[in-house]
Amino acid sequence: MNAENGTLVEVKKLRKYFPIRRGIVIQRQVGAIKAVDGVTFDILRGETLGLVGETGCGKTTVGRTILQLYEPTGGEITFDGVNLSDLEGGDLRRIRSRMQMIFQDPYASLNPRMTVGSIIGAPLDVHGVPDGQSKHDRIQDMLELVGLSAYFVNRYPHEFSGGQRQRIGIARALALNPDLVICDEPISSLDVSIQAQVVNLLEELQDRLGLTYLFIAHDLSMVRHISDRMAVMYLGKIVELTDRDEIYLNPLHPYTQALMSAVPVPDPDVAAQRQRVILEGDIPSPADPPKGCNFNTRCPVATDICFVEDPEYLEVEKGHWVACHLVKPEGIEATPH
């Protein structure tokens, strides 16, 4: 971790609601999907922050809102000291070139009608790099950087396998030399042996180029592998945020504990021994979250207050943030192990 280098991204009380509209011609808003509902965290320069959670927890929305692909409903995003909501037009575009994204589906994220060269060149075009030898060289360099042959520039995406396509996606994201790369489930649609290739490549690129990653995924062990610190999201909120070892050794939120115990371990001895917390029921709809703590419908240790009051997101130990009524800053009460 390079904490001394300071904070690159600061997210404060970020909210993103998607309106639900009804009506044929004149549409009225009848509700909202609270995809992200008050999320606060920061990303330090040069680190990897993991964001883990299950389907519909809002982790993808967080990533896209930071990139300004969605307009936030509330809250603040600061990138390198600049509040993004203050920016417009050219300034926004310039700062945007310093944040890039790697997408989940390597089949859907590359335009099938464009050559690899023009896919990687697109961000260069948009940000005013003129056609010519230097642009051409840059594209070839990017291909080689991600472990593909420069000779592939004129090929089409369908000629490549999933893992190779993901490399093309990474090359596109890195073409503009960004500071921050948001990796949105970059490996979850790849085969196991290819996942490791891509993760190793991402780690190697981070070392070489000094990148900062926001690594979003549902696979807890993979997120823990690549991250320096990690945040666990549930139904639009961060329930726990701490560094990678702390979250394994000392998970405080009951959801983190359950999630940790649900991760399958590729070791029959460990699997036979460990105690599992099996959560009952399903994740509630983000259009209609429960009153009180979001997790109260499935929490094995919920008490009365959990059904009434939303727990505050507090720093209970140095660098360890938890949102749970049962976890208090002064000490730890009622940890269900």
Partner 1 sequence: MTQLLEIKDLKTRFYTDEGVVHAVNGISYDMEVGETLGIVGESGCGKSVHALSIMRLIPSPPGKIVAGEIIFDKDRNLLEISSSEMRHIRGAEIAMVFQDPMTSLNPVYTVGDQIVEALRLHQGMTEAESRERARELLEMVGVPAAAQRLDDYPHQFSGGMRQRAMIAMALSCDPKLLIADEPTTALDVTIQAQIVDLVRRLQEQLGMAIMWITHDLGVVAELAKTINVMYAGYIIERGPVRSIYKSTRHPYTLGLLGSLPRLDEAPGTKLLSIPGLPPDLVALPKGCPFAARCSYRVEQCLEEMPPLERTDDDHTVACWRWEAVAEEVNA
Partner 2 sequence: MSEWNPEDLDSVDFAVREHRSLWVDAWRRLISNRTARLGMAIVALFVLSAVLAHYFWDYDPRTDLDYSLKLKPPNLVATEEVASIHPFGTDKLGRDIFRRVVHGGWNSLRVGLVAVGISLSVGGLLGLIAGFFENITPSKAERVFLLGAIGLALGALASWIADQTLQMFLFAGIGIFAALREDLLEGRFMRTVLFGLLGLIVGAGLGMMASPYVAIVTGVLGLLTGVVLGLPIRGQLVTTIIMRAMDILLAFPTYLLAIAIVAFLGPGLEKGMIAIGVVGIPIYARLVRSTVISVVQKEYILAAQATGEGHGRIIFRHILPNTLSPVIVQTTMGLASAILSAAALGFLGLGAIPPEPEWGAILGASYRYLASGAWWAVTFPGLAIMLSVLGFNLLGDGLRDALDPKLQI
Residues engaged in binding partner 2 (CB under 8 A): 21, 24-27, 64, 67, 69, 93, 96-97, 100-101, 103-105, 108-114, 122-123, 126-127, 147-149, 152, 155-156, 158-161, 163-164, 167, 169, 172, 176, 197, 200-201
The listed partner (partner 1, partner 2, none) that binds 76, CB under 5 to 8 Å by sort, is none
Residues 304-333 that bind partner 1 (CB under 8 A): none
Residues 6+ apart with CB under 8 A from 3: 44, 47
Coarse DSSP helix, strand, coil percentages of the chain, rounded to the nearest 5 percent: 35, 25, 40
The listed partner (partner 1, partner 2, none) that binds 111, CB under 5 to 8 Å by sort, is partner 2
Report in angstroms how near the CB of residue 95 gets to partner 2 at its nearest. Answer: 10
Residue of 102, 111, 105 whose CA lies nearest to 157: 111
CA–CA gap between residue 92 and residue 86 (Å, rounded): 9
The one among 20, 30, 108, 263 contacting partner 1 by CB under 8 A: 263
Report in angstroms how near the CB of residue 68 gets to partner 1 at its nearest. Answer: 28
The listed partner (partner 2, partner 1, none) that binds 317, CB under 5 to 8 Å by sort, is none
Q: Is residue 175 classed as helix, strand or coil in its secondary structure? A: coil
Tokens of 31: 């509700």
Q: Is 69 in the site for partner 1 (CB under 8 A)?
A: no
Q: Which is nearer to partner 1, 67 or 232 (CB)?
A: 232
Q: Is 10 in the site for partner 1 (CB under 8 A)?
A: no
Residue 189, classified by CB atoms within 10 Å of its CB into exposed (0-12), middle (13-18) or buried (19+), is middle
Report in angstroms how near the CB of residue 116 gets to partner 1 at its nearest. Answer: 17
The listed partner (partner 2, partner 1, none) that binds 153, CB under 5 to 8 Å by sort, is none
Q: Which is nearer to partner 1, 102 or 202 (CB)?
A: 202
Residue 168 falls in which region: left (phi positive, over 0), alpha (psi -120 to 50) or beta: alpha
Q: Is residue 238 classed as helix, strand or coil in its secondary structure? A: strand
DSSP, res 293: S
The listed partner (partner 1, partner 2, none) that binds 238, CB under 5 to 8 Å by sort, is none
Q: Is 252 in the site for partner 1 (CB under 8 A)?
A: no
Helices (H), ranges, the chain: 59-66, 89-96, 116-126, 133-145, 162-174, 192-209, 220-226, 244-249, 254-262, 268-273
**Crossing angle (nearest 10°) for helices 162-174 and 116-126:** 20
# binding residues, partner 1 (CB under 8 A): 45
Tokens of 19: 């309106």
The listed partner (partner 2, partner 1, none) that binds 67, CB under 5 to 8 Å by sort, is partner 2
Report in angstroms how near the CB of residue 72 gets to partner 2 at its nearest. Answer: 14
Q: Is residue 36 classed as helix, strand or coil in its secondary structure? A: strand
The listed partner (partner 2, partner 1, none) that binds 134, CB under 5 to 8 Å by sort, is none
Point out which residues bind partner 1 (CB under 8 A): 54-55, 161, 163-164, 191-197, 199-200, 203, 218, 220-222, 224-225, 244-245, 248, 258-272, 276, 278-279, 281-283
